[in-house]
Amino acid sequence: MIQNLANLSDKELVGRAQRRDAPAFGVLVERYELQLLRLCSALTSDPEAAQELAQTTWAKAFEAIGHLREGERFFGWLRQIAVNQLRDGFKRRRLAQVQFDEALHDSPDESPTPEGSVLRGEQQAEISRALRALSEHDRHMLALRFAQELSYREIAQELGTTEGTVATWLYRAKERLRKALDEGKGGQV
């Protein structure tokens, strides 16, 4: 049965899921779980928070699947749920617990030398810090472009705007990220 479901289009699976067909929704989860997790990772800059945000998003999507409009792309709708979950307080609850030092602790097996492990951890911590310093809008734009690898045209379609506006927003987000990274480097002794 699941194998037969795997051959269905997203539209067909959504229709079944809207009739509370849990296996059909399960196929949608299988199709998009990695893509959603990459998005959540880009939005949160923390693996545990990303996993929790993804799980919360899937639960909310299952509850709200009846609200998905005909013709709307499933992943675009799912992406918006993730962003809304983050905006509606998830970020405050979970990310407040994230410690800056956590990024410095890599397992020894991940790096050939202790120096390499510390350097990589410091770089990850610096990038995470810089991303947290950005506005939610900037992080969202960067996640769409770089984590989701969407084109300017696809981002414009998702957000209901023009490619020129997307280009401007991305340019500004990248500039603010560069500035945040530079400020982090300037603060080191």
- The per-residue DSSP string of the chain comes to -HHHHHTS-HHHHHHHHHTT-HHHHHHHHHHHHHHHHHHHHHHHS-HHHHHHHHHHHHHHHHHHGGGPPTT--HHHHHHHHHHHHIIIIIHHHHHTT--GGGGG---GGG-SSHHHHHHHHHHHHHHHHHHHHS-HHHHHHHIIIIIS---HHHHHHHHTS-HHHHHHHHHHHHHHHHHHHHHHHHT--
Q: So what's the pLDDT on residue 11?
A: 92
Positions of the chain with pLDDT lower than 70, given as ranges: 1-3, 89-121, 185-189
Q: Can you give the pLDDT at residue 33? A: 92
pTM: 0.54
Q: What is the pLDDT of residue 95?
A: 44
Predicted local confidence at residue 103, as pLDDT = 33
- For residue 91, the model assigns a pLDDT of 43
pLDDT digits (tens, 9 = 90+) for 48-66: 888 888 998 999 999 999 9
What does the pLDDT read at residue 28?
Answer: 94
**What pLDDT sits at residue 185?**
67
The predicted structure's pLDDT at residue 97: 42
pLDDT tens for residues 134-168? Answer: 888 888 888 888 777 788 888 888 888 888 888 88
